[in-house]
Amino acid sequence: MKGIVFTLLEETIVDEHGMDAWDRILEEAGLDGVYTTLGNYPYEQLVTLLQAAEPVVGYSGRRAQQWFGRRALHRLADRYPELFEPHTSTREFALTLNDVIHPEVRKLYPGAEVPTFALDEDPEDGDLSLRYESERGLCSFAEGLLLGTGDRYGEEIGVQQPRCVHEGDSYCDLVLTVEASTSREAHARG
């Protein structure tokens, strides 16, 4: 996993809880915390760090991953606004994940190991199902990234996971529903 993900976690913890909290998390995780954005590190270290961070952030397990995904998305969007500007909604953005967003990520971070999503739109209600395909099992991190994207576009979105490998299913399905939109564009569209 690219070091950028770890530096985003460090920034988030330090901003919200202070440097001492990050030092305590590293100590608890038994890691030295030396990450460079373009370096490669085992993704398991992210799982370990998030477990060690549980008492600090107040969430555990999948919710801790989701918590971090949401915050990481905001930090990525601040760094790369050009990836978000062409779109006006989470759904539209999510539809470009495989073909635009993550390929761009691989240009910025050569060697990045990104997931793919098999996308399926429900023609009736417009819900978008994203079948998460990755060996890393970070579906809750993906949920958080989607929720953060919703924040970015001023939408109130829901993400359900009717299937999950951590619950014994053979794959993870993330279903995105848009509850409400508060964005100016959406108001203008009526």
Among 13, 64, 101, 172, binds ligand HEM (CB under 6 A): 101
- The nearest distance, CB 48 to ligand HEM, in angstroms, is 15
Amino acid letter for position 133: E
Binding mask 139-158 for ligand HEM (x = CB under 6 A): --xx--xx--x---------
DSSP lists the bridge partners of residue 130 as: 119, 174
What are the backbone dihedrals phi and psi of residue 78, each rounded to the nearest 5 degrees, phi first? -65, -35
Stretch that binds ligand HEM, among 23-31, 52-60, 104-112, 157-165 (CB under 6 A): 104-112
The reply to whether 83 sits near ligand HEM by the rule CB under 6 A is yes
DSSP lists the bridge partners of residue 172 as: 132
Q: Walk across the sheet containing 116-121 and list its strands.
A: 116-121, 128-133, 172-181, 155-163
Binding mask 39-78 for ligand HEM (x = CB under 6 A): -------------------------------------x--
Amino acid letter for position 19: M
Q: How is residue 67 written in tokens?
A: 């918590």
CA angle 82, 140, 111 (to 5 degrees): 55
| Contact residues: ligand HEM, CB under 6 A | 1-2, 4-5, 76, 80, 83, 94, 97, 101-102, 105, 109, 112-115, 134, 136, 138, 141-142, 145-146, 149
